[in-house]
Structure 1
Amino acid sequence: MTTTSTGMSIMLPVDGRLERYVLGSPGAWTRPTRPITSRVAFAAAHVIPHATADNTPGAPASVDWESTLAYRHELWSYGLGVADAMDTAQRGMGLDWTATAELIRRSGAEAATVGGRLACGAGTDQLDLDGLPAGSAGLARIVDAYREQIDVVTESGAQVILMASRALVRVARSAADYVSVYEKLLAGVDRPVILHWLGTMFDPALHGYWGSADIDTATETFRTLIENNRAKIDGVKVSLLDAAHEIALRRALPDGVRLYTGDDFNYPELIIGDAQGHSDALLGIFAAIYPAASTALQELDNGNGARASEILSATQALGRHIFAAPTYYYKTGIAFLSWLNGQQQGFSMVAGLSTGRSVPHLAELLRLADKAGLLSDPELAAHRMRIYLELNGVHS
């Protein structure tokens, strides 16, 4: 996307030296005046901690509720749904179950005030993995943990997203164990859920999910589960960063079951789709690019697919940078952009995850966000970037 120069510049580190970079203007984004209908789109939002809390690894999460919930209202104002209590919110990566349950309840209450669409993750992260028994006793504990979290999500008024479980990886000994657990959970829900398949690039502890490290074999188990329980499944979110796999799975899904892309690399082509269909969206990158994402979806609503594709494609370099390996740390980039845009007081994250990316990585993030028109206040962003660079020993 081409942006108009502001004339404002900043010295950024590039390949070990400082180069002057001139910032552009924000994009001409629009908030929708009616619900977006061409795609169902969720932005997976991050959480903002109190800047003065003990945001170190292992410390209980101390969430700045005012800022965290204001971010969700911003997403709703752009016509997007919010996917909450997900890996973007650092589930199992610093956000403990006590804080997660409060996040779900608070988000549910806020969603009700504006009619915002909300889906929340239900998992098993309240379990002590080292204390899990083996065999059927362990599987029963996992089912009970899922059900506890499903109840919290349901009572909040949100849609349930059945998240992948590290505990299930630890205890399951076959694909049949996975199917047994999920079928018990699906039998007990009163509203169709979203199944979430999270790849190892996002969480290495999920290696071998669905009972096999071979993706084709795992996919067959996944498809059979969906086919046999289609009435209980609204859709599936697949985060494997493999566009060809996603398209093949999307075409094989039963009628009425959505494919929510979780591919933060290839989302433009997957959301725009082809003559045989398209993906909906449940994306962490949408929490960073939400003004552009919303504007693109509005263009799709208006039948302007070419313009929608142009807008989304202009954000793709930023998405690929934020989600670059090690992908686990993509949340650091989302929080950094939130800070640059003035949506949180400090560049801080629970569990100290703000240290997950390097100075050059975050400097490039600013440049790419600017190129995509996603710095809402370039002057503030430049000011904060200078502070960050100086604190890290980079003096211009």
Structure 2
Amino acid sequence: MTIRLPDAGGRLRIHEPRTDPLAALPTDGLLLSRTVFAAAHVVADPYADVSPGGPAAVDWDATLAFRRHLWSHGLGVAEAMDTAQRGMGLDWAGAAELIRRSAAEARAAGGRIACGVGTDQLTGPATLPEVRAAYEEQLALVEESGAQPVLMASRALARAATGPEDYLDVYGHLLRQAAGPVILHWLGPMFDPALAGYWGSGDLDAATEVFLKVIADRPDKVDGVKVSLLDAGREVALRRRLPDGVRCYTGDDFNYAELIAGDESGFSHALLGVFDPLAPLAARAVRVLDSGDTKGFRELLDPTVELARHLFQPPTRFYKTGVVLLAWLAGHQDHFAMVGGLQSARSLPHLARAYELADGLGLFPDPLRAEARMKTLLALYGVSS
């Protein structure tokens, strides 16, 4: 069997899908040498009568089933993060429900979960006290659910802050309020342009100093930091300056293999959106690393980087479209629909290349189903098989 795929130039070319299914991978026990979270997407309800800009309609059964899939491979779930379309189709009310349901599911499944704490209930200009109050409301909900909080970067804080001291004040207040150690999340403007100049400066060196001061002031309240700047050298330099006991969770979906493998001075743990589609392979690779086989780890994970770089190509914030496409092709959901209609955010050639790369990695448990679904999508665009 073959399939005709459009390339970036609009030409159709022949691809011969692989026929062997994804090999059965071990799913017993937790990963040992690294703490690994996959930031998980949400599954839309395709039958809901929703209006543009209205509240998201979520298929809760399929959404929670996907989290059980991630836990079954030993991964933690990073919930209600940007991969779940926070601020891009999923509002705070929807995120709050997602946190409650997923945290309850984590308790039932014995899975690890961390949940995003932000300020997205603020829909317009806000004062710094209003930003603090919004963060506190979300922090309380996440802690009450039993999940670990991830203090996410805030668009409202980026608008309201006048300099580094405002960030130090807000984050210092939150860390004092937190019941236990949190994960601090630095999301770069390539993921969200509204976060440009976060930590009070457009100069990343200056911003790094403010970020490190937030941590140094209360290291007992910081489990780790998630860095999503797509700059491996900067992450390594930051990692080496963290206080003892504070982990670095890479959020670099371009350079994760080398950062997780580490060097003579240390390594990064992981909290990655790309591990949503890569979960089985990522877990297998870390289990190899658990045995001390860094070379084997790289041999498994390095080939996935081309797919990751494709999914996260600019404009990077639309990577979720490719993630959901691959979840549909892999059989984790019955449709290719997204909250907010975001399935339309990437071109057909982009989606076709994502399918081709994932197929080459053997990511599909049922290659024939993936091929048939891709042909259905192509037919909608007028591509005959």
State the TM-score, normalizing by the size of structure 2.
0.98
Q: 1:395 Cα shift?
A: 1.9
Q: Is this contact kept in 2: 1:193–1:233, CA < 8 A?
A: yes
Superposition map of 1:185-334 within 5 A: 185-334=174-323
Q: Does 1:18 align with 2:12?
A: yes
Q: Hey, what does 1:107 align to over in structure 2?
A: 102
Q: 1:249 Cα shift?
A: 0.3
Q: Hey, what does 2:337 align to over in structure 1?
A: 348
Residue type at the aligned position of 1:278? F
Superposition map of 1:161-176 within 5 A: 161-176=150-165
Q: Hey, what does 2:140 align to over in structure 1?
A: 151
Whole-Å separation in 2 of the counterparts to 1:56 and 1:387:
25
Q: 1:180 Cα shift?
A: 0.0
Whole-Å separation in 1 of the counterparts to 2:199 and 2:354:
35
Q: Which 10-residue stretch deviates more, 367-376 or 153-162?
A: 367-376
Whole-Å separation in 1 of the counterparts to 2:145 and 2:198:
28
Q: Hey, what does 1:95 align to over in structure 2?
A: 90
Q: Hey, what does 1:9 align to over in structure 2?
A: 2
Q: 1:57 Cα shift?
A: 3.7
Superposition map of 1:118-137 within 5 A: 118-130=113-125, 132=126
Whole-Å separation in 1 of the counterparts to 2:51 and 2:352:
24
Q: Hey, what does 1:4 align to over in structure 2?
A: none
Residue type at the aligned position of 1:263? D
Deviations 1:131-167 (A, max 9, x none): x2xxxxx111111110100111111110000000000
Q: Is this contact kept in 1: 2:143–2:179, CA < 8 A?
A: no
Q: Is this contact kept in 2: 1:56–1:350, CA < 8 A?
A: no
Residue type at the aligned position of 2:15? Y
Secondary structure at the residue paired with 1:287? coil
Whole-Å separation in 1 of the counterparts to 2:49 and 2:261:
43
Q: 1:12 Cα shift?
A: 1.1
Q: Hey, what does 2:59 align to over in structure 1?
A: 64
Q: 1:185 Cα shift?
A: 0.4
Kindly tell me: are residues 26 and 245 of structure 1, through their superposed partners in 2, closer, same or farther at Cα, counting changes over 3 Å? farther
Q: Is this contact kept in 1: 2:227–2:251, CA < 8 A?
A: yes
Q: 1:54 Cα shift?
A: 4.0
Residue type at the aligned position of 2:4? M
How many residues of Structure 1 are paired with residues of Structure 2 in the alignment? 383
Q: 1:56 Cα shift?
A: 5.3
Whole-Å separation in 1 of the counterparts to 2:24 and 2:179:
38
Of residues 79, 83, 94, the one that matches 1:84 is 79
Whole-Å separation in 2 of the counterparts to 1:371 and 1:275:
33
Structure 1 unmatched runs, 5+: 1-7, 133-137
State the TM-score, normalizing by the size of structure 1.
0.95
Whole-Å separation in 1 of the counterparts to 2:97 and 2:108:
17
Secondary structure at the residue paired with 1:288? coil
Identity %: 56
Whole-Å separation in 2 of the counterparts to 1:391 and 1:30:
34
Secondary structure at the residue paired with 2:12? strand
Q: 1:49 Cα shift?
A: 0.8
Q: Hey, what does 2:31 align to over in structure 1?
A: 36
Secondary structure at the residue paired with 2:121? coil
Whole-Å separation in 2 of the counterparts to 1:381 and 1:153:
36
Q: Is this contact kept in 2: 1:332–1:357, CA < 8 A?
A: yes
Q: Does 1:179 align with 2:174?
A: no
Q: 1:17 Cα shift?
A: 2.1
Residue type at the aligned position of 1:18? L
Kindly tell me: are residues 29 and 188 of structure 1, through their superposed partners in 2, closer, same or farther at Cα, counting changes over 3 Å? same
Whole-Å separation in 1 of the counterparts to 2:2 and 2:108:
41
Q: Is this contact kept in 2: 1:49–1:62, CA < 8 A?
A: yes
Residue type at the aligned position of 1:354? Q
Whole-Å separation in 2 of the counterparts to 1:264 and 1:29:
25
Q: 1:184 Cα shift?
A: 0.4
Q: Does 1:74 align with 2:69?
A: yes
Aligned-residue RMSD, C-alpha: 1.0
**Structure 1 segments (4+ residues) deviating >6 Å:** none
